[in-house]
Structure formats: structure tokens, C-alpha cells
Amino acid sequence: MKKLLIYKNKTLAYSMRKLSVSGEKCLIVVDKNRKLLGTLSDGDLRKSLLKNYKLNDSIEKIYKKNPFKLEKNKFDIFEARKILVEKRLEVIPVVDKTNKIIDIVLHKSSAINLSSFYKNKIEGSVVIMAGGRGKRLRPFTNKLPKPLIPINGKTLIEHVLDNFIKWGFDSFKVTINYKSNILKKFLQELNSQCNFTFVKESKPLGTGGSLFYLKKKFKKHFIVSNCDTVAEIDLNKILKKHFAEKNLITMVCVKKNITIPYGVCKTSQKMKLKSIEEKPVIKSFINAGIYICHPKVLDLMRKAEPRDMVDIIIEANLIKKNSIGIYEINEELWQDMGKWSDFERFEANY
């Protein structure tokens, strides 16, 4: 923490050097008793130079007074992380009742290791289903596997991984089949601290069949995600709901309003017209392709055969006294990347 604290009488040049050494984008301005005075970002320094401040000028007139702060024991790390994102902050000072700095919340420290938080209940790795052929994305997928399609400077699978990395997950089991060597090599060489284990399908097994190879690998609940599901999800809330309801599976779903662009006729059993509803709106829950699963789900799989996750879920639902839960997310926070129009929409809104 000390490397991020600075006194208000220090110069712009000193502040720049301190920021560079810290590797962060913001410093905390304090007095000699470590009482919080404000924050100083790299943006504040750039703006001051544009206003003709000199490098040997004091930062006293350019740092932000009255910054957003949190008080000790009056927040949790999940709340802090949400504030960082929503307010677009680089740091949040944590103070005691006397306004003395006792901690700092950073983006790097805001990734919560949920596998540790739920260590007695959930496995530490996430299963990414990435063996499909991506037929709807030809001719691109004639050359590369679907997970490696580039979008906004990253591959599709990197966007998917980011959804879990930000919650502290860094271990992934990736099921592979189509152009598997290319995908495997890319992930192995990815500049990342993630650990990848690969599950090779000998033949295409659909969106769920390759889970058979993981039957004896899980003793606790685990997470499964399609490789083409990009979603902003609150994993903490999903897991809380999953365990509170004692679900066998919790499916992440998107509530969609689907308009039928025709007049819909309602008839009697004798096919007599009763009424006509013009362009009715149907409200439905759409499977988002992310699941929290109990290991019992895998016990139902007898052999490695083509299976969809939906088939597996339906079978699991037939097990007596076990429940399948649904966790709803907003439509704006989810994007299925199954066809080219989805990529265009994601690029436009990203």
C-alpha cells in the first residue's frame, strides 16, 4: 500500500516516477498522519501538463479532493468490485472512522477467487465446451475453429474466459475436437496466468457429450459454459442461489420478449375462430449456455456419445427430489455468438 501513497507537496515529476514504479494508474494523496486528502491519477497529471504546469510544480492544485471512499467493515469485496466498474474508478481508498487510510481496493485485487470462497462446495475450474465445428460461421471456420474468431482485438474464447477470470477463476478444462491442435496451441501460448487442461473428443459429441470424460473428475459442484456465450454475470449471486435452493443444476437464462410479426388466430377445438391477436409479444426464458452442475449430473452418462446439454438437463430433472433452478440475467448482458449478425452486433455495442 505504501507505494501508492503520496504527500500533496510532492512534484509532478516525482508523482510520475512513483506511478511508473507502482504499475498502477492512480495514487492516494495523504497527510503525514496518513489521513486521506484525495487521489491523483495519470489522467490528472496529463491534464496538468496541457495546462502548462511545470514538472517541478506541486501536485497540490491538481489532485482530486473528496474522492470516493469506503469505510472499514461497512462493505464487502463484491460491493467494492461493482463500484469500481460502475464508477470507472482505478482505486478506492478504505479508511477508518478517523479518515486514516488502512487499505486500498484495486482492480487487480477485486478479482474474487470464488472457488476459494466456496471451497467446500465448488470445484476450482470451469469447463468450456469448445469442440464444435461452427458451421453457421463458414467460410471463416473452414480455416480456424470458432473460438479463435477475432472480435474487437481478442478472440471469442478470450472474451468467454474473461467472464470467469474477473471472478478469480484461473483453471479451465476445455473440451476440443474440430481443429483441436490449433486451438490447443493458441491457449497454451496465450499470455495468461491461466491453467488449461484439454479434453479431446474422438468424435463430435455435441454441446454436452464430452462431459462423459469428466465423470470421475468432480467431487463438488462445477461450472460449464459454451464457448460462444459472452455474458456479464454476477457469479457470486448465481452460486448463492444455486446452493440456497439445493439445485442439481442452475441454468443461467435470459428473459426475452419475442414479437410474432403476424396476427395470431385463436381457435376452438372445432377450428372455429375465437379471436385474433395482432403481433403478440411472448415472454420466454432463453438458455444462455452457462450452468452450475452437481456431479450427479455426470452419473447419468453411460458412454461417450453425441449429447446436448439440454438432453442431459432433462434427464437430470427426472431424478426424484432434485431440482433444476433458473437464474435470470438481463438481455443486454448476454450475447450468443452463433452467427455473423451476432458478431456484428457485439462489435457495435462492445
pLDDT at 37: 92
Angle at which helices 42-50 and 12-22 pack, to 10 degrees?
150
CATH 3.90.550.10 positions along the chain are 114-349
Class of domain 114-349: alpha beta
pLDDT at 129: 85
- Taking a C-beta distance cutoff of 8 angstroms, is the pair 92, 68 a contact? yes
CATH 3.10.580.10 positions along the chain are 2-110
**Amino acid at position 319, single letter:** I
pLDDT at 25: 81
pTM attached to this predicted model: 0.63
CATH number of this structure's domain 2-110, picked from the four choices 3.40.50.1390, 3.10.580.10, 3.40.50.720, 3.40.50.740: 3.10.580.10
- Taking a C-beta distance cutoff of 8 angstroms, is the pair 225, 129 a contact? yes
Rounded distance between C-alpha atoms, residue 106 and residue 100, angstroms: 18
pLDDT at 138: 62
Count Cβ atoms within 10 A of the Cβ of residue 224 and give its class: 0-12 exposed, 13-18 middle, 19 or more buried.
buried
Residue ranges for the chain with pLDDT beneath 50? 340, 343
**Three cell numbers at 158?**
478470450
pLDDT at 205: 65
With residue 13 as reference, give the H or E element that holds it. helix 12-22
pLDDT at 213: 76
**Three cell numbers at 135?**
458451421
**Three cell numbers at 118?**
466456496
Identify the CA nearest to 194 among candidates 173, 223, 170: 170
With residue 314 as reference, give the H or E element that holds it. helix 309-317
Name the phi and psi angles at 187, rounded to 5: -70, -35
DSSP alpha helix (H) spans, 52-111 = 77-86
pLDDT at 244: 92
Question: Where would I find the beta strands (DSSP E) of the chain?
Answer: 5-7, 26-30, 36-41, 64-65, 70-71, 91-95, 101-106, 122-129, 150-151, 154-155, 171-176, 195-200, 221-226, 229-231, 249-259, 263-267, 273-278, 281-293, 324-329, 334-336
Rounded distance between C-alpha atoms, residue 33 and residue 220, angstroms: 48
Beta bridge partners of 63: none
